[in-house]
Chains A and B, each alone.
Chain A
């Protein structure tokens, strides 16, 4: 059974700091992995999607890496801003035959001005 864990559960950093959020999963047989951002009252927004054959994806100040063999993904946020404050969720999709995603419990990030 796939389980997804995110560490830390909460993080508070000063503005401008670079930071890394961690995601680990127990079954390496994944199809892809997505990082989402969750803002209160606004649902989830997809940030980056990494296919199982890829090692990393970048979008602006965000970089996500994937090490399937070790069951790990990291989300790197450069030069953090107060607007980055949100809960970050990672989710894995098991195979190409299902669109079910298994979500982690998230990392609640607060960037202090």
Chain B
């Protein structure tokens, strides 16, 4: 199993600024994921972050807008750049533990409001 924490838990930001969200896992994990949950919507995968390589982005998401770092096997960051009100969402970090583990573990989420 894995316990995932995120910082900050919530924030209110001004349009045009950037916010970096941190994700910490209490054990080494093979794969980490970043999801977005817009108000009233389902979770949408932004990108997969693998240690030692560039993140893989899903259709509709680009590195300039959502740069991701994965410096080691327990930590990742997601930056939401040049924010607009449409970026107001909950951002969730997720991790897959081991190669045989199918269950995905999720952090508590970061609730972002952009004014």
A-side residues, CB < 8 A to B, are 4, 32, 34, 36, 41-46, 49, 51, 89, 91, 99-101, 103-106
Contacts and interface: CB of A to CB of B under 8 A. Distances in A.
B42 A99 contact: no
17 contacts: A4-B42, A34-B104, A41-B9, A41-B108, A43-B106, A45-B106, A49-B102, A49-B103, A51-B102, A91-B43, A99-B96, A99-B104, A100-B45, A100-B48, A103-B42, A104-B42, A106-B42
Interface of B: 4, 9, 31, 33, 40-45, 48, 58, 92, 94, 96, 102-109
Contacts of A51: 102
Contacts of A32: 102
B contacts with A: majority SS: strand
A1 to B, nearest CB: 10
B37 to A, nearest CB: 9
A32 B102 CA distance: 9
Contacts of A100: 45, 48, 58
A99 B33 contact: yes
Contact of B4 (A43, A89, A99, A103): A43
Closest 8 CB pairs of A and B: A44-B106, A43-B106, A103-B42, A103-B43, A43-B108, A105-B42, A46-B103, A43-B107
A40 to B, nearest CB: 9
A100 B43 CA distance: 11
B104 A46 contact: yes
A44 B31 CA distance: 17
Nearest to B1: A46
Contacts of B31: 99
A100 B104 CA distance: 10
